[in-house]
Chain A
Amino acid sequence: MARERENPKPQQQQSPSSISYTVEELVAVNPYNPDILPDLENYVNEQVSSQTYSLNANLCLLRLYQFEPERMSTQIVSRILVKALMAMPAPDFSLCLFLIPERVQMEEPFKTLIVLSHYLETTRFRQFWDEAAKNRSVVEVVPGFEQAIQAYAIHVLSLTYQKVPRPVLAEAINVEGLSLDKFLEHQVTNCGWVLEKSQGRGQLVVLPRNEFNQPELKKSSADSIPLEHITRIFPVLG
């Protein structure tokens, strides 16, 4: 059977473990089977400890909870939601919420997680980090949380800025002082960042250019013709 199988995507730097494949296969071959629920729950914990991520498997589990609400585990759901926050800018968090009953969403820790997601969705990073600090017990059970959110912040910054003032960056990734210097140094060596002096007001960070922060780079798709269309005139050209 040539079914598509989604390989576990590494979040940060991890390697997929051996069990993961079998769970992914279960989801691919038999997505509507209540018997795989315990496997999927274990797989969530496995994703947490091994810093891997599989949206498909987690949605499959939420779907089973939706079908049989009495089997739902709030602890597992909250872990899925933290993982989904870490997948930002992908819309995974909303995808999960669509499947979780409203009365469950009104309880803790879900209320907090929804607030955190709201801050990230509206890029209010200061408020986000403050709120996250108040709720360490919820988010710190999942390793790699901070780095994942920082990666999201950098993603949004790179869409928006060619040159970002140091304090703006510091606030977004919640790193300051010497740690920030070290972080910048690392980015300069590995990611093509450049540091500049702004007119008398501290440092400017030049982010690598892409078609979103430099629209001139955008490939003019209006002028190109897909190959399939060209093939139509092949007989003429020949």
Chain B
Amino acid sequence: MAASYDYEDPSHYDTDSITHRPQQDQQPYDPTFVPDSVKTFVVHLYRHIREKNVYEIHQMYEGSFQKLSDRLFKDTPWPSVEAVAPYVDHDHVFCLLYKEMWFRHLYARLSPTPKQRIDSWDNYCSLFQVVLHGVVNMQLPNQWLWDMVDEFVYQFQSFCQYRAKMKNKSEQEIALLRQYDQAWNVYGVLNFLQALVEKSMISQILEQEKEGLEQFTATDGYDYNGGSNVLKVLGYFSMVGLLRVHCLLGDYHTGLKCLKPIDISQSGVYTSVIGSHITTIYHYGFANLMLRRYVEAIREFSKILLYIFKTKQYHQKSPQYEQILKKNEQMYALLAISLSLCPQVKLVTEDVNTQLREKYGDKMIKMQRYDDEAYALYDELFSYACPKFITPSAPVYEEPLVNYNQDAYRLQLKLFLYEVKQQQLLSGVRTFLKLYSTISIGKLASYMEVDEPTVRSILMTYKHKTHVVDGDGKVTSNADIDFYINDDTIHVVESKTTKRYGDYFMRQIIKLEEIISDMDRVKLD
């Protein structure tokens, strides 16, 4: 089918560019000019959407759109929506979708003007309102729906960064910001995401699915009974969007709460799109790291890093490839931080550990030391790997205009380093405890060159920092070394690494059963 598209034929481009755009680079962008290949593209995309042909939509969205962008719109925007509208019956929803892609392309390849940022916000408002009112009857690929939520949050973050750089703003820019003060307003952003979650009833759907009353994960969110997947899947991805926005705001507890309906110990719709999978785990892991739940962070980082390690070759041609690699590197840095604070290497799979040692082996040894150089390294890794924190409030225009785009980042960094400092003596005590099965408080104090009350404090700090207490009072241990104190004596309990025979037997039982049933079938033949 793809062969029928004009733009797949390279010779067509030559004629196209010769007849219409002889000096493509020099010619100013004409938003009303629609090349034939774009005509064909929108006509086909529109038809596939009406016919609910998810496979073809996906091909055009992932493949053709990128190819056309590379060939014709490397450094200019796509034709304006008004120019393409006649080819798609002026279909309202299609035009909103087209514009969403138009802005996304613009953000990715050019830099948006202040007015374009505001227009893009307006477009998201119209698009989400249409979806929320339930008049959308389409079936769109998960990739596309994920990209919408992802881009929405990205543009919000980008706007906050832009707005916070007040120092060099022109008077017109400031006037524009004041006039459109509702654009990318934090309440608006959060309420759209929240409305999509609520209206889609996604948490109820996931809940009912557990009881076998509903299918969602099993069909990857698609609706094969003639319905639309758009609201449901947008609602689903909005939970990830909320996690991300809350992380950007430094509200890790609420972020994790928003993600709760999704069981991240299993694969689900969030793993059906690589970008969503990575975004979910990156923010989930980061939030857990900030909440001192190191074991949870290590476990999830390790799992996804292994997954990326094994599958990255399949994404080489994807437009998200660079982004995948960047998040991959950032998560190694976060894993290095988590393991330095909570040295439980046994939780990390072999392949990931090898990569980690290669990238951060030297730094991790230094980070154990807790001197100035170690702090500098925690600072460096955190700054490299943390989300792009934002200050959500508008500037005070009446006061002298200053840049405040770094404020949020500096606060999170400072508080994180504060935590590192509070744990600074723990790595020393670890080293000693590993050497003894029993040791007196006095002896440990003299080894560590501190007095006895200080040693008692350090040991209690160790316990406090390695034991997380939930809202319902449940204590979870992240400790790598177990010990207890009896009066003046510390008893260290060696933690044995127990092999998991159970899983092994389970797998073998299932395998055997498969072989037996295979043999039965052979006999019948």
Contact = CB atoms under 8 A, between A and B. Distances in A.
Interface of A: 2, 4, 6, 9, 31-34, 55-56, 59-60, 63, 66-70, 89-91, 94-95, 97-99, 101-102, 118, 121-124, 126, 155-157, 159-165, 168, 171, 198, 204, 212-216, 218, 220, 222-225, 229-230, 232-233, 235-236
B510 interface: yes
B458 to A, nearest CB: 8
B333 to A, nearest CB: 20
A102 B463 contact: no
Nearest to A62: B251
Contact of A232 (B254, B495, B506): B506
Contacts of B249: 63, 66, 99
A63 B493 CA distance: 43
B292 interface: yes
B407 A101 contact: yes
B482 interface: yes
B396 to A, nearest CB: 8
Given A89-B467, A162-B486, A102 B410 contact: yes
B359 interface: no
B467 A122 contact: no
Contacts of A118: 418, 422
A66 B246 CA distance: 12
Given A95-B253, A157-B460, A162 B422 contact: no
Q: Is chain B's interface secondary structure helix, strand, loop, or mixed overall?
A: helix
Contacts of B194: 31-32
Interface of B: 186-187, 190-191, 194, 203-204, 207, 249-254, 257, 260, 290-292, 392-393, 396, 407, 410-412, 414-415, 418-419, 422, 453, 456-457, 459-461, 463-465, 467-469, 471, 475, 477, 482-488, 493, 495, 498-503, 506, 509-510, 513
Nearest to B261: A4
Contacts of A66: 249, 392-393
Contacts of A55: 253, 471
B422 A97 contact: no
B319 to A, nearest CB: 32
6 contacts: A56-B257, A98-B252, A160-B460, A168-B456, A218-B482, A223-B500
Given A232-B510, A233-B509, A98 B410 contact: no
B411 A156 contact: no
A50 to B, nearest CB: 19
A156 B463 contact: yes
Contact of B251 (A99, A223, A232, A233): A99
Contacts of A4: 260
Contact of A162 (B187, B396, B485): B485
